[in-house]
Structure 1
Amino acid sequence: MHRTGTFILPNPWDAGTARLLAAHGFAALATTSAGLAFSRGRAARAQPFPFTVTARADNFFHGRPDLHDTVRRLQAFAEAGADVLYAPALPSTEAVRAVCSSLDKPVNVLAAGPLLERSVTELGALGVRRISLGSALPRAALTAVLDAAAELAGPGTFGFARSALGYAESNALLSGS
């Protein structure tokens, strides 16, 4: 390619960006040491703005219900400099307590499964410092649309609209007015 003309050599920083760029037809890719360092949070603390590095152990998301391995991974992330440690899909409050008590950094959990039965106060008492909602808000919005569609297609009524935000209020919220 160097002998046949000028070409673009994009620089992916991880496997995902490499796949995306390759899928767009680029014949060659090269790594970027800075991009890789940025994605790993290295030399990054020197930036002129604050940020938080969150590291996640997705064992329970991927069918590997090994709490010991999850804690081991989170401890390694803490040693590598992560600010917050995240283990989504923990199966119980006992698992949450075990993860939190095994780490010396703030722990994030996902509000899902059995944790939906707990309040912010209860999760905080277990040692949790941050709670993510994941896809809960967009799923709640989709549920409202499906419920409205069922009402429209079924009895043909408009009761769902009674609790909807008004047009002017919606506009004000979204326009920043």
Structure 2
Amino acid sequence: MVDVSREGKLARFRSLHDGPGTFVIPNPWDAGSARILTALGFPALATTSAGLAFALGLKDNLSAMPRDVLLANARAIVDATHLPVSADLQDGFGQDPASVAQTIAAAAEHGLVGGSIEDATGDPSCPIHDLSLSVERVAAAAQESRRCNFVLTARAENYLWGRPDLDDTIRRLQAFEAAGAEVLYAPGLTSLEDIRTLCASVSSPVNVVMGLKGAVYTVDELAACGVRRISVGGSLARAALGGLMRAAQEIAQHGTFTYAADALSAAQAEGFMRETMAWHRPGD
């Protein structure tokens, strides 16, 4: 019997990071995609703010949605699976450390066992918080994470904002580690050499994202670099939207419906939902 209490999920989530080995934590954007990914045998799930934004018809940016909307989506995903769920908590919904700590507390209350906080500001003219404030934010998040038993991931966003400075990225992640983050994450690294250097420069587990533009590496290649966790961000949501767009273009441009041959049948879709709904116990 799988322990579906939050404490049981948290223990399983931490054991994944303790290793050995590398695991993939895919990113559903709603309850249905969470149930499919659960049925396919992944060990944990992580939410995607980008996938949620696209589902709501919004651009993916730090002002796209309020915290309660993001956390309601996370709760729906938590309720759809027996797996541990970590959340993309963006910038913590506030620049000051106290706001970031409040977001961690709210995330834990929604059944999440972990979440990430990034050091991006959302301001293109000054895209990354200075290091001292970034560390204060992570320290506040880490203190609250210890209080509510929550796995904190700290993100250094340099590479997503046109600042491909590996030395500064490593310096930031080392400071975040010292401030109490349990998992470290620098999205956008483009070479195995840089990933290997980063992993060797810190002691905590490192998350790497695949599914972005650029080089594509295998789980084995990333594991050989020392990566512990691999996420896919909003790429699964974008893949689904790509399928929708191609199917709709076929209808609009050719008046044909051959796309249906590649679609899940209704029976398959319902089968995924039945299989994973059996794990859900309301109120857990």
2:109 counterpart of 1:109: no
- Alignment-derived partner of residue 3 in structure 1: none
Q: CA RMSD in A?
A: 2.5
| Matching residue's letter, 1:16 | F
User: Deviation digits for residues 28-70 of structure 1, max 9, x if unmatched?
Assistant: xxx77962784612153243xx531100000011111111000
2:93–2:99 Cα contact (<8 Å) kept? no
Whole-Å separation in 2 of the counterparts to 1:134 and 1:34 = 23
User: Deviation digits for residues 100-137 of structure 1, max 9, x if unmatched?
Assistant: 11111111111023342x10011110111111101100
Question: Relative to structure 2, which stretch is displaced further, 66-75 or 33-42?
Answer: 33-42
- Alignment-derived partner of residue 145 in structure 2: 44
- Alignment-derived partner of residue 23 in structure 2: none
1:29-40 counterparts in 2 under 5 A?
A: 35=102, 38=105, 40=141
Larger radius of gyration: 1
The two structures have a TM-score, normalised by structure 2, of: 0.48
Whole-Å separation in 1 of the counterparts to 2:100 and 2:153 = 21
The two structures have a TM-score, normalised by structure 1, of: 0.74
User: Deviation digits for residues 62-95 of structure 1, max 9, x if unmatched?
Assistant: 1111110000000001101111100000121111
Whole-Å separation in 2 of the counterparts to 1:69 and 1:100 = 14
Gaps of 5+ in 1: 1-13, 19-30
Name the count of aligned residue pairs: 149
Q: Which has the higher contact order (CA 8 A, sep 6+)?
A: 2
SS in 2 for 1:53: strand
1:11-160 counterparts in 2 under 5 A?
A: 16=93, 35=102, 38=105, 40-47=141-148, 50-111=149-210, 112-116=212-216, 118-160=217-259
4+ runs deviating over 6 angstroms: 31-34
Gaps of 5+ in 2: 1-90, 106-139, 279-284
Whole-Å separation in 2 of the counterparts to 1:106 and 1:120 = 15
